[in-house]
């Protein structure tokens, strides 16, 4: 390969810049020309490319977000959109794409590669950590620490006022942030999409906490949790326990921003390097990931299909330690 393109797509995550930097500098090291594509697949369609040399990525390793910008491209879901994208790649003589993002990004890369034979490699960048084939996704560690810091602060005021807080963290299909930030902050209960919960069980947990003498509690709720909205949960709890002073906090997009943690910068550097090496070795339609400290390539198809699994032990631990 002599020319590659790199893009970030879907929800951004802290460390995407570090991954871009690693792709650009590894490509430069092996004399491969590298082009940045702006706003995910939209840039492919609208011919928004920029040549990236090693100095173009200076100092970005510390920055959250993505200098290439990101988007969830609706146009790329259409055959016409992908045709335009292909024509732009041909015009520029680009042989392969590095696509940084989550499952939506990989789905796009897979279809594109199957339709036009373009070589693609994925790098998992999402705070959700729901991608199979890598122990962690880029941005997850930072988001987790952001959530933990925020919940620690909520804990202070919850204790002062003897209050019950319902805190919503991100993860529309996955409970990794909720489970891990909940354990790290000593949450009374953690509600995640992967586990069937019921309002009766939640109430039983509150009763147990009361008996144990708890005067304040935090319940961490994943965005994609099945019991209903966090406001409905708070309302139902107020009906069941009229004496409780209840507050709701939705952490939202603060979890997606901020300077990446050390772990995310290192992971992004490993995967950015690994993606370029993979392309040089002839890999395509795979995702670069780290498993037990080893660089591995997983077929994109598997990465999308098999959801990363929650550690059941962590669920047990959270229940035992909560009281
Ligand atoms: O996939 C990452 C994620 O942050 C999810 O946790 C969340 O549900 C979603 O993106 C939010 O998307 P948007 O930024 O489009 O509101």
The CB-side HSE value for 268 (13 A sphere, CA atoms) comes to 37
Was 114 annotated as part of a binding site?
no
Q: How many CB atoms lie within 10 A of CB 150?
A: 18
Cα of 13 vs centre of ligand 1, distance in Å, is 10
Cα of 181 vs centre of ligand 1, distance in Å, is 17
pTM listed for this prediction: 0.97
Q: What does the buried/exposed string (b/e) look like for 219-250 if buried means 16 or more CB atoms within 10 Å of the residue's CB?
A: bbbbbbbebeebeebbeebeeeeeebebebbb
- Asked if 148 and 185 touch (Cβ cutoff 8 Å), the reply is yes
Q: Which of 12, 128, 138, 192 to mutate to test the pocket of ligand 1 (most atoms within 8 A of CB)?
A: 128
Pull the structure tokens for residue 11: 């929800």
Q: Are strands 49-51 and 33-37 parallel, antiparallel or unpaired?
A: antiparallel
> Using CA positions, which residue lies closest to atom 13 of ligand 1?
11
> Using CA positions, which residue lies closest to atom 2 of ligand 1?
11
CA torsion, ordered 69, 37, 260, 147, to nearest 10 deg: 50
Pull the structure tokens for residue 54: 């090693």
Closest ligand 1 atom to Cα of 102: 1
Residue 256 Cβ < 6 Å to ligand 1: yes
pLDDT tens, per residue, the chain with 323 residues: 999 999 999 999 999 999 999 999 999 999 999 999 999 999 999 999 999 999 999 999 999 999 999 999 999 999 999 999 999 999 999 999 999 999 999 999 999 999 999 999 999 999 999 999 999 999 999 999 999 999 999 999 999 999 999 999 999 999 999 999 999 999 999 999 999 889 999 999 999 999 999 999 999 999 999 899 999 999 999 999 999 999 999 999 999 999 999 999 999 999 999 999 999 999 999 999 999 999 999 999 999 999 888 999 999 999 999 88
Q: How many CB atoms lie within 10 A of CB 33?
A: 18
Q: Token pair 């990931």 is at which residue?
A: 289
Closest ligand 1 atom to Cα of 256: 4
> Using CA positions, which residue lies closest to atom 6 of ligand 1?
171
């Amino acid at each position: 390969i002599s020319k590659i393109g790199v893009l970030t797509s879907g929800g951004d995550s802290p460390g995407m810049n570090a991954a871009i930097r690693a792709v650009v500098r590894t490509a430069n090291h092996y004399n491969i020309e590298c082009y940045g594509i702006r706003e995910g697949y939209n840039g492919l369609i609208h011919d928004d490319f920029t040549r990236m040399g090693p100095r173009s990525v200076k100092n970005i390793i510390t920055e959250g977000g993505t200098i290439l910008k990101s988007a969830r491209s609706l146009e790329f879901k259409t055959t016409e959109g992908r045709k335009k994208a292909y024509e732009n790649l041909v015009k520029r003589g680009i042989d392969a794409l590095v696509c940084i993002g989550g499952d939506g990004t990989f789905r796009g890369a897979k279809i594109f590669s199957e339709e036009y034979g373009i070589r693609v490699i994925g790098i998992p960048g999402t705070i959700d950590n729901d991608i199979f084939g890598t122990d962690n996704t880029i941005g997850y560690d930072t988001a987790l620490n952001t959530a933990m810091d925020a919940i620690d602060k909520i804990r202070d005021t919850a204790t002062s006022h003897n209050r019950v807080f319902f805190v919503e963290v991100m993860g529309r299909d996955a409970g990794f942030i909720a489970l891990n930030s909940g354990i790290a902050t000593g949450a009374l209960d953690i509600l995640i999409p992967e586990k069937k919960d019921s309002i009766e069980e939640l109430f039983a947990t509150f009763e147990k906490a009361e008996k144990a003498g708890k005067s304040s509690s935090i319940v961490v709720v994943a965005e994609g949790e099945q019991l209903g909205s966090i406001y409905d949960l708070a309302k139902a709890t107020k009906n069941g326990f009229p004496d409780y002073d209840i507050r709701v906090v939705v952490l939202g997009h603060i979890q997606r921003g901020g300077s990446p943690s050390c772990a995310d910068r290192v992971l992004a550097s490993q995967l950015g390097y690994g993606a370029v090496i993979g392309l040089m070795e002839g890999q395509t339609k795979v995702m670069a990931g780290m498993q037990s400290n080893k660089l591995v390539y997983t077929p994109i198809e598997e990465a999308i299909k098999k959801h990363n699994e929650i550690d059941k032990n962590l669920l047990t631990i959270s229940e035992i330690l909560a009281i």
